[in-house]
Amino acid sequence: MPRHNQKVSLKRVPLEITRLGLGTAPLGGMFSSVSEHESDDLISTAFDLGINYFDTAPLYGNGKSEVRLGRALRAAKKDFVISTKVGRVLNDTDTPDKEFFKDADPTKESVYDWSADGVKRSINESLERLGLDHVDMVLLHDCEDYLEQTLREAYPVLDDYRSQGIIKAVGMGLNLCAPSVVVMRETDLDCALIAGRYTLLDQEAQEELFPLALKKNVSMIIGGVYNSGVLANPVKGAAFNYAPVSEELLDRALAIKAFLAESEVSLTAAAIQFPLRHPAVTTVLTGSRNSAELRANVADFDAEISDSVWDELEASGLIKPLSLG
């Protein structure tokens, strides 16, 4: 069986998700617009390829991603596992902002709300946009600047919903390791999404976050494997964590690409497969804006990379050695 559609159980919850999941921020028009046809075709292709895990959030296009994903999931009439997020609510506005999400709902604006009522509202409105009667996993989204309220108000709501069976798994989704460690240490999470912190260019997550996840039996989901662009196409002006890449990091990305080329391994294949080297990692989550991108990601994910390539890459000093903490 290809690696991408192999199913693995979350460690603490009877949910089986594929090794490769589909992140749907692009369905909100992240960076560039996506047509309704492309959106529907993308989800249909994911099912055709055996992918069953889909991640979304109210932030992505001010609800547009949830609307598009929900429509396609309902049309597919197949089994799936879905995660969405809390921490922001969508309020009415007459000053639309489409700078980041080109397909964003122009009548809404995203506002942080970590109150208990805000979390409940967020989940209810996500269900309405999705057109579903449930979501399997709910993640605390970008809570690094609201840790006290997250722990005091937001997390208890999710914990209560889990105990009632309203949701099956509680998690978090952040781009930063230090606040992720705080949340994981202070709560009882089932899963955690970390984006951009366990890649060919940045292995910070293995220092403290992954060892804690292994200790607490939290299933790690890895996003941002291309560090928002530079590991997909390392050229001057490429993005690293949504900002222009530094010369130092670009040089290292190019050096990794050249090193891999000697073993006939593409940079994108190595980038998408790299997180699976760590035993804390359950699934890799990548965003695609159309079926062609998804098929390319699947091909990279399934490509053969020998253990010796990783060993030699470590020995070269271009990536840090694998560490279990």
Q: Which residues are catalytic?
A: 55, 60, 85
Residue ranges in 146-246 assigned as alpha helix (H): 147-149, 155-164, 177-186, 209-216
For β-strands 108-112 and 169-174, DSSP reports them as unpaired
For β-strands 219-223 and 137-141, DSSP reports them as unpaired
Task: Scan for tokens 């240490």, then name that residue.
Answer: 185
**Are 15 and 137 a contacting pair, CB within 8 Å?**
yes
What is the residue-wise DSSP string for 181-204? HHHHHHS--SEEEEESSSSSS--G
**Are 188 and 171 a contacting pair, CB within 8 Å?**
no
If residue 124 lies in a helix (H) or strand (E), which one and from where to where? Answer: helix 116-130
Label residue 207 exposed, middle or buried (CB < 10 Å: 0-12, 13-18, 19+): middle
Give which of 304, 318, 308 is closest to 269, Cα–Cα.
304
**Are 85 and 315 a contacting pair, CB within 8 Å?**
no
**Are 167 and 138 a contacting pair, CB within 8 Å?**
yes
d(CA 36, CA 41): 9
Residue ranges in 27-63 assigned as alpha helix (H): 36-48
As given in the structure block, the two tokens for residue 273 are 């497969």
The number of CA neighbours under 13 Å toward the Cβ of 16 is 7
